[in-house]
Structure 1
């Protein structure tokens, strides 16, 4: 319970006490009844918001713990499920109800004991079973034959399947006809092969895109990039995350980008200071119009960055632009928990704040300039 909720509780109690002292009026237009209703509504609204925020934070903790701390992950899952996820109050086996702890255990014993017994089902169709086994054998023989004699230029469905398997580095698929995998094994095997193929493919293509130069090529399917993680539901923090994502993926449009896209029909000059081309280096580090915004944050970023990077034995020089846009660029994929917390809690917020503040200043100046030009 936060201070805002405590204050709302006091206001509600005070309003209820005054309403009670006034004889509990029930007229719809009564001031004291309205005040009691409003304070009750405000309190419930704050409680619902707090519960929603707690759910969001819990889900984010579960997502973070799933990849870093399995013990915490299962602890959070058990907590989220509550008592009903651990205890059974009632069990029904063969139309018989078991309610106490001992009787529930008895019901489980009876149920699984019956499953272990071999039963002779009188109405079982043995002829149908034999027919299915014969059809299965025929299908296996046809599959083996098609895979052996058909060429890659054939339009056979089996050859299409063989091409798909070859794409994902699944060779000699005939062996799986003789020694088939279980459903779970096959699913795990295929998922691993497909993920590896696309992971390698994406990493290879990433190197060919200059706009992704601020992203290191470490990529794991199903794992959120640490730069995109946030535990806050604050709308401003979400906006900061959006701006940072545009910078790191090279999709933030500056005047130099507009000039390049239009074959330099657009002037690449910075519209804030009108002293140099508006490149990403100029916008973040050199523009004089935003120097007051930049100076204090740059000092803090350099201080935090030096504390973090001092622990890593780096062979390459540090680029300040890259550090600001993606603080994780120079860190290993599997970093220790202390470094990850230090970067996520101190360095990343400073970098997000700098980029968002520069973006907001640029947006305000350009909006005013465009409005003034339209009036003329």
Structure 2
């Protein structure tokens, strides 16, 4: 029985290994063929391995098991979720008044008998063309591809259907239905329905109708929306609300004034929306007799700009300078919540007092109703963790990065037994870097913070490339085409600033103009920091793009120029470091080393075997391969640098690859193949020039990526790839033979 178990487990491990290799090959093929959709689908398939199936759910104390009962439980849960909740604190008078107003508005609209503009076929055609592909089918089995493939045939019919709905003022019940799927929130109890997010696939015709109505409403709503609302706003990032909080902190720090940040948790704010109130407000705004109030006597202002309530959808944040103001603003939130019939959870709401001067740390007591809001030393808003000094929590960011890496292990994001670093660096840049640096461009990043993040990045990139700890930092980044963390953060800051320049009516644009004109160079302002960055990368003064970004060149031109300048700056820094490192004397620094992996890795990504050989080649190129000369140099004990194979001189890279007599036979055969290949491509004279000198030959074998064999760039690249493959195989063959000889010698000595 025991032997049978061992045999079974052995077969199981073998099958698992085959499945893993198959997955790695599929990911590699998708990357090489530039099938990005398949590539990310395969990677995400390995990341999302949480099991969210359950054999029962618990709702309001009742346990629902078996298939039919579980479905009934879900039905009850989502029905209750969609029903407006009543609360004794809600304003009943405002409800009655609003409902009365809605009836009046409806009667006015009927009496006016305003002629509704009919939908045109061109409008509907454009909406259909812009529908996203590869989405789930709706309840009728329709997808966007169905309509696009029959565009000319279906457009007239869909236009007539939409016009009929507009004329009658009715939407058929079938268009209000959808396929609802509960999606478990990360790390939550899967037996509690409240821990699931309901995702509904609505009907395709319903999406077309909604898009058509949205396009008509946007010109009205864009003029009335609060300038401080950064959720569901086209052309702006939700993180801009985070910029306003940071700039308020820097302003308070400059003036040595106190600053208080409050965040409020609106419970399921978008699950149930009071439509009567929205309808009433829409009518009033349409008639031009009202709108949102932007100015509060209380709160925080930078100059004349009010930044009291930077908001993203239902993420509510309030800024104040004193306890009295904080309490007044909290009272306003409470009155608004009760009037608009949504619930604020005071137990999940938090308050943070920033340390803007030596006396600003204080205990504050702010109440929401009868509940005191909890004062904390750090809180999370828009996914950005803020503390009293507005500095990033590096420990937490590294922990988040580590978890993301663990989730990608199944996709081959690890060293020797994984996928080629030429591919894994794409995973690192796509999945890991954004999580590590989320929102950090708006925080007060210190030099020690940058050093910690950079150290962690180098550590991981060394592991991905199977390089020793002592490998030169410049080589670690250059081999995989990675940027320093500082370059990533600087890029995020400058691109965020350029995004601000495109809308001269936004509060961020007005704030940028004010701060850049008013503030001195020693100010803590984020915009002054951006000004210093633009100067660092030899880019124009920030006031220039603020005024001219909408000229002929446009925003994309400025973004492209910024990225070019940043890459050039760090390429120069890397070149200087290469020149200072004797270990990198044979490694070429490619012009695109900030964005593209080195030839050593790109030439070996087609198979795991080639990748394994390239690991040895990379160690040789960075002079970290354990030759006797290196052991002698870096060992605290007295170790001779002489070659243990032939005992003729120190065993360095030149001796190992070109000189050692013990490796002559295998070396000769590979060099002959190299000579024949080069003769075929560049002729005998070119071969004599390249192979006639040992130093030049050593450069060729270690790194040929910068050598120009022929003037034609495409053909030259092809020759470089052939030479790199031959050199990689030669180095690996020498490595295997050397290891075998040393192993036999050790056995004999024993």
> Per the shorter chain, which TM-score range?
0.5 to 0.7
Q: Is the 8 A contact 2:682 2:709 kept in 1?
A: no
Aligned to 1:267: 640
Once residues 148 and 233 of structure 1 are traced to their aligned partners in structure 2, the CA distance between those partners, rounded to angstroms, is: 55
Is the alpha carbon distance of 1:341 and 1:266 closer, same or farther for their aligned partners in structure 2, counting shifts above 3 Å? Answer: same
Once residues 545 and 559 of structure 2 are traced to their aligned partners in structure 1, the CA distance between those partners, rounded to angstroms, is: 13
Residue 228 of structure 1 and its aligned partner are, at CA, apart by: 1.6
Is the alpha carbon distance of 1:218 and 1:343 closer, same or farther for their aligned partners in structure 2, counting shifts above 3 Å? Answer: closer
Aligned to 1:251: 624
Corresponding pairs, count: 315
Residue 270 of structure 1 and its aligned partner are, at CA, apart by: 0.3
Once residues 342 and 365 of structure 1 are traced to their aligned partners in structure 2, the CA distance between those partners, rounded to angstroms, is: 33
Q: Is the 8 A contact 1:212 1:248 kept in 2?
A: yes
Deviations 1:238-291 (A, max 9, x none): 221111111222222321222233489320110001122112111111111111
Is the alpha carbon distance of 1:189 and 1:103 closer, same or farther for their aligned partners in structure 2, counting shifts above 3 Å? Answer: farther
Once residues 134 and 154 of structure 2 are traced to their aligned partners in structure 1, the CA distance between those partners, rounded to angstroms, is: 10
- Unpaired segments ≥5 residues, structure 1: 1-37, 63-75
- Unpaired segments ≥5 residues, structure 2: 1-10, 41-131, 163-207, 221-281, 297-303, 307-504
Q: Is the 8 A contact 1:308 1:339 kept in 2?
A: no
Once residues 150 and 332 of structure 1 are traced to their aligned partners in structure 2, the CA distance between those partners, rounded to angstroms, is: 55
Q: Is the 8 A contact 1:269 1:276 kept in 2?
A: yes
Q: Is the 8 A contact 1:91 1:104 kept in 2?
A: no
Is the alpha carbon distance of 1:47 and 1:296 closer, same or farther for their aligned partners in structure 2, counting shifts above 3 Å? Answer: same
Once residues 240 and 312 of structure 1 are traced to their aligned partners in structure 2, the CA distance between those partners, rounded to angstroms, is: 31
Aligned to 1:172: 541
Once residues 273 and 249 of structure 1 are traced to their aligned partners in structure 2, the CA distance between those partners, rounded to angstroms, is: 24
- What TM-score do the two structures reach when normalised by structure 1? 0.65
One of 559, 568, 579 as aligned partner of 1:207: 579
Is the alpha carbon distance of 1:235 and 1:127 closer, same or farther for their aligned partners in structure 2, counting shifts above 3 Å? Answer: closer
Aligned to 1:328: 705
Q: Is the 8 A contact 1:285 1:294 kept in 2?
A: yes
Once residues 222 and 107 of structure 1 are traced to their aligned partners in structure 2, the CA distance between those partners, rounded to angstroms, is: 49
Residue 145 of structure 1 and its aligned partner are, at CA, apart by: 5.1
- What TM-score do the two structures reach when normalised by structure 2? 0.35
Deviations 1:149-178 (A, max 9, x none): 544344444433322222222231122333
Aligned to 1:218: 590
Is the alpha carbon distance of 1:48 and 1:272 closer, same or farther for their aligned partners in structure 2, counting shifts above 3 Å? Answer: closer
Deviations 1:21-77 (A, max 9, x none): xxxxxxxxxxxxxxxxx9xx99xx989966863552242232xxxxxxxxxxxxx56
One of 351, 360, 367 as aligned partner of 2:736: 360
Once residues 650 and 636 of structure 2 are traced to their aligned partners in structure 1, the CA distance between those partners, rounded to angstroms, is: 15
Structure richer in helix, relative to its length: 1
1:57 to 2:29 alignment: yes
Aligned to 1:122: 283
Indicate the larger mover: 235-244 or 124-133: 124-133
Query: 5 Å matches for 1:185-200?
Result: 187-200=559-572
Partner SS state of residue 538, structure 2: coil
Aligned to 1:69: none
Once residues 252 and 320 of structure 1 are traced to their aligned partners in structure 2, the CA distance between those partners, rounded to angstroms, is: 19
Is the alpha carbon distance of 1:147 and 1:106 closer, same or farther for their aligned partners in structure 2, counting shifts above 3 Å? Answer: same
Once residues 48 and 137 of structure 1 are traced to their aligned partners in structure 2, the CA distance between those partners, rounded to angstroms, is: 51
Query: 5 Å matches for 1:1-376?
Result: 53=25, 55-62=27-34, 101=150, 102=152, 104-106=154-156, 111=208, 117=216, 121-122=282-283, 124=285, 127-128=291-292, 135=306, 143-144=512-513, 146-148=515-517, 150-179=519-548, 187-220=559-592, 221-230=594-603, 234-262=607-635, 265-310=638-683, 319-331=696-708, 336-344=713-721, 346-373=722-749, 375=750
Once residues 169 and 306 of structure 1 are traced to their aligned partners in structure 2, the CA distance between those partners, rounded to angstroms, is: 46
Is the alpha carbon distance of 1:58 and 1:142 closer, same or farther for their aligned partners in structure 2, counting shifts above 3 Å? Answer: closer
Once residues 336 and 312 of structure 1 are traced to their aligned partners in structure 2, the CA distance between those partners, rounded to angstroms, is: 20
Partner SS state of residue 207, structure 1: helix
Partner SS state of residue 250, structure 1: coil
Once residues 584 and 682 of structure 2 are traced to their aligned partners in structure 1, the CA distance between those partners, rounded to angstroms, is: 22
Q: Is the 8 A contact 1:273 1:287 kept in 2?
A: yes
Partner SS state of residue 172, structure 1: coil
Once residues 372 and 164 of structure 1 are traced to their aligned partners in structure 2, the CA distance between those partners, rounded to angstroms, is: 63
Deviations 1:2-26 (A, max 9, x none): xxxxxxxxxxxxxxxxxxxxxxxxx
Structure richer in strand, relative to its length: 2
Q: Is the 8 A contact 2:621 2:703 kept in 1?
A: yes
Residue 113 of structure 1 and its aligned partner are, at CA, apart by: 5.8
Aligned to 1:8: none
